């Protein structure tokens, strides 16, 4: 390490990890990865590696939490102790409690809870490796896992952050930019409905910069949305191929 | 209140808001009456009570000496905690903090922290060894809606009111001397929450109105007029246009609240 902090953006506008200001990190999305869950998804968003499992609709425990007219949605965001440079205690931190809540609230607008009275679904998010933007990657994967479970949805929810690094508004911050940059704006979005279901911000921005960041994040969301749909299709294409092979082997 | 009456009441609230009216006669973007009192807890280094209609928040600050975090050896420490005290509402229960009180504390914390309101370098006593730690404890004493705005306002009022002990360093020991200094503040963040009821944006919801909100957005703005924290909550959504509109409403309302805070 040199004494001077390395620049987060060079003169040509290239960021520390080689990206342009409005470029996403590489993404890998997989659906149906957990055999025991009713729905599941895995996301690699840059160096973030996150696994989501969905269970339900099923009976709610404890029972008094169930609602006579709708399904209750529970969500747990949890980071593995080895997911960050310094071991994280496995006990839920205040940050994790808050993120569990905002992730749940970003998914709820996509669901029809009145269709499944007296039941509940559990959305379990496990962050296996974190590198900035885990709440967004978690939402993107959780929406896929819910879709995979077969629960009807108004739209997929997709999330992406924008922020400000050295006076430039940039898309999809990684860990160093998140920590050293001057603002971070995570956004979750349902593209077909033009609905923002999560919006947070920390740092300092003028109202115009906030607007610019939200718009940039929504554009990022639209790109990831296409990949989400592709991931769902891929799962069913694979299923089709497998059944075909089985049929052929029977013959 | 039985749930039948509640349902009728909820429909009434929504219908009124469609017409631009509210149960208590306010306009959609009117706050209730606000009263701020400072320095009411003598044993705290700083304190403030905010009455927002019938919502009542008491914030006390304590300043102690402690160790800095290893990655910021020259910075003092500030922490915010919120208690939904069981006497404040029938549905508040004793026990460890639930997600609502944690979210409340973290929204208040973020407004103060991200605006860099507390000049943390001035809280350093001896680099890497001793700093001042400022504890901000938010006590909800009566819940009648809009706890976020009332708590954030009370927290800033309490920080303005906070006195730091005078000290001298002798052979690595901190000796508290007579007299006090003002806690060094750079800016005063104020938070305004805008809620969505039907397709209308409403400010300062009462507890009854909170039962019918689809989503809320809290925006913290510093003295210079920049936005320093945002949090969306609730199980509904906002359109991008509504977010821009909410940001404009927040700017106006923060200016109004600032007049009350600094009178």
Is residue B101 within 8 A of residue B147, CB to CB? The reply is no
Instruction: Search chain A and give the residue with CA nearest B226.
Output: A206
| Residues 72-111, chain A, touching B (beta carbon < 8 A) | 94-95, 97-98, 100-102, 104-105, 108-109
* Domain extents in chain B: 3-262
B10 CB neighbours in chain A (<8 A) are none
Query: Residues B118-141: what's their mean pLDDT?
Result: 94
Strand order in the sheet with A48-59: A27-31, A39-45, A48-59, A119-129, A72-79
From the CA of B68, how many Å to the nearest CA of chain A?
A: 17
A190 CB neighbours in chain B (<8 A) are 237
Instruction: Specify burial of residue A4 (Cβ count, 10 A radius: 0-12, 13-18, 19+).
Output: exposed
Looking at CATH, the fold of the domain delimited by A27-233 is given as: Ribosomal Protein S5; domain 2 (3.30.230)
- Cis-peptide into B255, omega within 30 deg: no
Per-residue pLDDT at B93: 85
The answer to whether the complex's ipTM is over 0.90 is no
Query: Residues A54-78: what's their mean pLDDT?
Result: 94
pLDDT digits (tens, 9 = 90+) for B110-124: 999 999 999 999 999
The answer to whether residue B253 neighbours chain A at the CB level (below 8 Å) is no
Model pTM score: 0.86
Is residue A197 within 8 A of residue A107, CB to CB? The reply is yes
pLDDT digits (tens, 9 = 90+) for A139-165: 999 999 999 999 999 999 999 999 999
A104 CB neighbours in chain B (<8 A) are 235
Looking at CATH, the fold of the domain delimited by B3-262 is given as: Ribosomal Protein S5; domain 2 (3.30.230)
């Amino acid at each position: 390490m040199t004494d001077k902090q390395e620049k987060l953006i060079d003169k040509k506008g290239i960021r520390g990890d080689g990206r342009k200001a409005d470029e996403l990190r590489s993404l890998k999305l997989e659906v149906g990865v957990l055999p025991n869950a009713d729905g599941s998804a895995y996301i690699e968003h840059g160096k973030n590696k996150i696994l989501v499992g969905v269970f339900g609709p099923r009976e709610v425990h404890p029972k008094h939490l169930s609602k006579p007219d709708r399904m209750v949605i529970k969500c747990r965001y949890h980071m593995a102790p080895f997911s960050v440079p310094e071991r994280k205690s496995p006990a839920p931190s205040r940050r994790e409690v808050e993120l569990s809540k905002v992730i749940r609230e970003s998914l709820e607008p996509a669901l029809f809870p009145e269709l499944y009275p007296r039941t509940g679904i559990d959305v379990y998010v496990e962050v296996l490796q974190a590198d900035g933007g885990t709440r967004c990657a978690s939402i993107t994967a959780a929406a896929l896992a819910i879709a995979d479970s077969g629960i009807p949805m108004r739209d997929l929810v997709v999330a992406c952050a924008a922020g400000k690094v050295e006076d430039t508004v940039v898309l999809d911050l990684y860990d160093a930019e998140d920590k050293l940059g001057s603002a971070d704006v995570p956004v979750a979005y349902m593209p077909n409905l033009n609905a923002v279901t999560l919006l947070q911000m920390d740092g300092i921005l003028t109202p115009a910069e906030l607007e610019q960041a939200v718009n940039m994040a929504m554009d990022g969301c639209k790109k990831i949305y296409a990949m989400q749909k592709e991931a769902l299709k891929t799962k069913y294409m694979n299923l089709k191929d497998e059944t075909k092979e089985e049929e052929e082997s029977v013959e | 209140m039985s749930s039948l009456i509640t349902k009728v009441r909820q429909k009434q609230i929504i219908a009124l808001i469609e017409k631009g009216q509210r149960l208590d006669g306010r306009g959609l973007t009117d706050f209730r009456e606000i009263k701020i009192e400072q320095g009411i807890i003598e044993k705290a280094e700083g304190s403030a009570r905010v009455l927002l209609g019938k919502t009542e928040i008491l914030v006390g600050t304590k300043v102690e000496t402690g160790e800095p975090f290893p990655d910021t050896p020259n910075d003092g420490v500030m922490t915010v905690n919120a208690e939904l005290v069981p006497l404040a509402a029938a549905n508040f229960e004793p026990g460890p903090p639930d997600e609502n009180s944690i979210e409340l504390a973290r929204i208040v914390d973020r407004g103060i922290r991200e605006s860099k309101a507390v000049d943390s370098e001035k809280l350093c006593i001896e680099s890497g060894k001793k700093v001042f730690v400022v504890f901000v404890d938010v006590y909800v004493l009566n819940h009648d809606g809009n706890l976020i705005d009332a708590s954030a306002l009370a927290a800033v009022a309490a920080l303005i009111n906070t006195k730091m002990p005078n000290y001298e360093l002798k052979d690595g020991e901190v000796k508290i001397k007579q007299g006090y200094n003002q806690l060094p503040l750079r800016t005063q963040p104020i938070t305004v929450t805008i809620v969505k009821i039907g397709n209308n944006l409403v400010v300062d919801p009462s507890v009854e109105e909170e039962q019918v909100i689809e989503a809320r957005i809290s925006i913290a703005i510093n003295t210079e007029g920049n936005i320093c924290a945002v949090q969306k909550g609730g199980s509904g959504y906002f359109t991008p246009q509504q977010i821009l509109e909410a940001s404009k409403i927040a700017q106006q309302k923060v200016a109004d609240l600032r007049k009350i805070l600094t009178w």
